[in-house]
Amino acid sequence: MFQIANEKTVKTNYVQHFSTRIPWKDNDYTGKIDNNPSYNVAAQVIPNIASSRDLEFEETNKGKRYEEVCPVKMQSWITENAAFMSDTKLELKMNHPYKNKKNPKFLHFVETTFEMDPYSFLLRPFSWTLKGNANEKHKYYNFYFDLDKTEQMLSWQSSWVSHGESQKGIFDYFFSGVNPNKSLIFPYYKQVPFIEDNRRVIAGIGNIVSNVVLQEYDSDGSSDEKNYIWETNAAHSIRVDGKDGFLMPYLEISEYAKKHPDFDVSNVTVFEPAGFRAEFSYAAEWVSYDAAIDVLNQAKIALGNIAKLNLKEANHNWVNLQLEYIDNQLINVWNQRGIFPGLGSTLSAFGVRYGFDIAHYVDTSENNLISELKLFFSGEKETGNEKLDDSLADKEDEFFGLLRDENKTRYFELLSRLNLSVEQAIYAWGKLKKMQLILLKTHTYYSNLHEKKRMNIKLLFLKLTMRCL
């Protein structure tokens, strides 16, 4: 339903950042078969590569460009982001994975030509397309998803969302925060051969420079049911000698480490931030502001250490160029983060549906947080989205009731200042409710005690307190 903007409607300039998994390669990501394919065991931690790899073909054609040997032959590598630095289009042939299972709802899908754009990642948010996850996320995030229609699509059990419109709802929402030239992209490895650490290794940093567009599977026209190719082109700013993004020089570092056996490679490695593993998993995922800031700060330290190695390619000039880029991105991300990164999760914990989405509209540059929220809950300000505004209206009385309790109001604001997931905020808010219940029961019990007993309890409490001091 379209909304007509009025003087109460607030605009949002929300910026989302992303991660994406890439395989280890022994040469580069311009679209070439490895120089020594048989030795690249690290890439096989990615199931799609491990299950479909043709090592004999790779050895016969090692070092050749994908377009020389036909990109379809290396399709599992390409869809896993082995060619995101290619300067040419790569044409792939996509077949619906359920077509051969003889389910009539998928038989009309035909082989579809898909073009991977130059200098693009193929992003696939697997966590969001798991049926159970999608159903849970739908409670808190404002996207279209129909569990019943998803269940009706298949005659067998599957963990994945197969209903076309639900797929589109998920993908459109997942990429809705892409802000070209502002959204960051963090490619990462699950495994690097010479780094003995089970943490994800950040491969580089760049910006997404285009919006993401979904492509449907082609159909023979016998059914109106749609399904979508999960690979999505996301053009990026990373270039070998560019100033708007970079890849960590791990290949050059590996050669240095061979010549210096005692060298600690962790000093020049960027890892997933502690506590943020989920944001660097499932092939593609959202990255929070605090995680992005952590990675950028890690990169500053690692690059400073790389400069001391006097490498040929990653030399002082190269390092200085990337440090300037990182400093600019840190300024941007801190500004995007603001001082209430947990507001969306806290609103959700309070019971406001789609709190994450509503938080994008709350601007505290002129009013303090509580004053600004009053305007939204009272309807003096609107998001312009009917679902979001209705969810605020539903909680108006409860919110203004909250404001009558100074301690609860302060606690609400405190949680909003923390970078919390929805689950963490719900847990923290639940703890407050339990504590209030305990205090209420204690007060009731204490009020009913005889005066002499109350005095004895006070003395006992005082003695215990003195012992603790």
Tell the burial category of 424 from Cβ atoms under 10 Å away from its Cβ (0-12, 13-18, 19+): middle
User: In a structure prediction context, what are the per-residue pLDDT tens digits for the chain, which is 469 residues long?
Assistant: 334 445 566 667 899 999 999 999 999 999 999 999 999 999 999 999 999 999 999 999 999 999 999 999 999 999 999 999 999 999 999 999 998 777 889 999 999 999 999 999 999 999 999 999 999 999 999 999 999 999 999 888 899 999 999 999 999 999 999 999 999 999 999 999 999 999 999 999 999 999 999 999 999 999 999 999 999 999 999 999 889 999 999 999 999 999 999 999 999 999 999 999 999 999 999 999 999 999 999 999 999 999 999 999 999 999 999 999 999 999 999 999 999 999 999 999 999 999 999 999 999 988 999 999 999 999 999 999 999 999 999 999 999 999 999 989 999 999 999 999 999 999 999 888 666 555 445 445 445 555 555 555 455 555 554 554 4
Torsion of CA 95, 97, 98, 99, to 10 degrees: 20
Cβ atoms within 10 A of the Cβ of 212, count? Answer: 20
Encoded tokens for 316: 């002082």
**Nearest in space to 214 (alpha carbons), one of 188, 233, 238, 195:** 233
Strand partners, 247: 204
* Coil/strand/helix, residue 20: strand
Of 309, 302, 300, 316, give the one whose Cα is nearest residue 257: 309
Q: What is the pLDDT of residue 432?
A: 80
Whether 346 and 337 have beta carbons less than 8 Å apart is answered as: no
Q: How far apart are CA 372 and CA 370, in angstroms?
A: 5
Q: Write the CB contacts of 297 (distance below 8 Å, at least 6 apart in sequence).
A: 330
pLDDT at residue 12, as a whole number: 72
The SS3 call for residue 186 is strand
DSSP letters along 300-356, please?
HHHHHHHHTTT-SSS-HHHHHHHHHHHHHHHHHHHHHH-S-TTHHHHHHHHT-TTHH
The residue written with tokens 């504590």 in the block is 435
| Angle at CA of residue 420, ends 276 and 160, nearest 5° | 60
Distance CA(229)–CA(124), nearest Å, equals 9
* Closest by CA position to 265, among listed 253, 255, 277, 273: 253
Per-residue tokens: 51: 């299950």
Quickly count helices (H) and strands (E) in the chain. 19, 12
Q: DSSP string spanning 250-261?
A: HHHHHHHHHH-T
